[in-house]
Amino acid sequence: MPTVDFAHGFGFDPTYGYTLDTLLQLPPPPEPADFATFWQSLFAKARAVRVAPQLREIVSPLREQRVFAVEYTSLGNFRIKGWLTIPRDEPVERGAVIGHGYGGRDGPDRELPLARCAALFPCARGLSLSAHPAIPTDPAGHVLYGIQNRHAYILGGCAADIWCAASTLLELFPAVAARLDYLGISFGGGVGALALPWDERFHSAHLCVPSFGNHPVRLGCPCVGSGEAVRTYHRERGGIALEVLRYFDAASAARYLRIPMHIAAALFDPAVPPPGQFSVYNAIGGPKRLFALSAGHFDYPDQVAEQQRLFAELQDFFRIA
């Protein structure tokens, strides 16, 4: 799969002139000297949070799963809401935190590549069930919230929501400490890359079309996603945003990943530029597997079959990782 060529109506090339070979050569950008210290400090604060989970069983649309409305406390005393599923007739032997894209989430996924799993589907702060009056719910506004200060930027809080989701699962189901995984797509993939390196409780992870990778390159790529709002902000304010964004670069964080990682990265993507996605994959410092998608955030003829192949590969990955 060296190149892709889809008919489209965008005013730019969603491959950005890259092929699979050139995408695989992209390095992560230089990181601030205190990058790791910043994230380790944020993680320590999140680990100290008393998550105080609450569960309420609701009618399940899934025949083999019980479904619960769940909420827990995250960093900054922010109450996160979402869903939790457990097997109806099997023991819970593992856990998973499932991140969502910038479209938010309106319920748990119907199918996961994991068996006998307690799966927590949190809505990131400011989005869907975790909406807050002070935080914009639209992607363009959400991605800019607090961007003036690295200690206030929304993505740090969203990473903490993942860490506190792990704390919630472990409090509710102590057995999942033996095997805790993460799956995230787009926004959830990028925030997952930021969060996972610092939390030793996770055993493996899958990131699909991860966002927030290689900001210096992303800022030069026109797109239709939240990245365009960041590009506009950066341009209109003389480049000052990059000083904060350097601390929230998913490719920089990926350098510190040591758990087995599975990455699905797209060759053609009008919303999350492929060079950012592949920069995350290339930077991973531990064992990793790549599934090269023809496209992301775009409908294409082989999409269903390709997603089926990806799902089968993930079943194998999470069985042996």
Mean per-residue pLDDT for 257-271?
98
55 and 49 in contact (C-beta within 8 Å)? no
Residue 80 belongs to a domain:
yes
Confidence of residue 163 (pLDDT cuts 50, 70, 90): very high
How many folded domains does the chain comprise? 1
Q: Residue range 268-287: average pLDDT?
A: 98
Q: Which two tokens stand for residue 171?
A: 């409090």
Does a structural domain hold residue 162?
Answer: yes
In a domain, 58, yes or no: yes
Average of per-residue pLDDT across 78-101 = 97
Q: Are 245 and 188 in contact (CB under 8 A)?
A: no
Would you state the pLDDT for residue 4?
76
- Note the pLDDT of residue 7: 87
Whole-number Å distance between alpha carbons of 168 and 107: 18
> Could you tell me the CATH number of the domain that includes residue 139?
3.40.50.1820
Quickly list DSSP for 199-241.
Answer: -TT--EEEEES--S--HHHHTTS--SSHHHHHHHHHHHTTTTH
Q: How far apart are CA 82 and CA 321, in angstroms?
A: 27
22 domain-assigned: no
Residue 162 tokens, joined: 């993942």
**For residue 199, what are the contacts with CB-CB under 8 A and spacing of at least 6?**
43, 162, 163, 166
Cβ neighbors of 286 (< 8 A, separation 6 or more) are 257, 258, 259, 260, 261
Residue 23 domain-assigned? Answer: no
Give me the domain span that covers residue 58.
31-298+307-320
In a domain, 311, yes or no: yes
In a domain, 191, yes or no: yes
Q: For the chain, report the end-to-end CA distance as a whole number of angstroms.
A: 25
Q: Does a structural domain hold residue 14?
A: no
263, 256 in Cβ contact below 8 A? no
Higher-pLDDT residue of 45, 2: 45
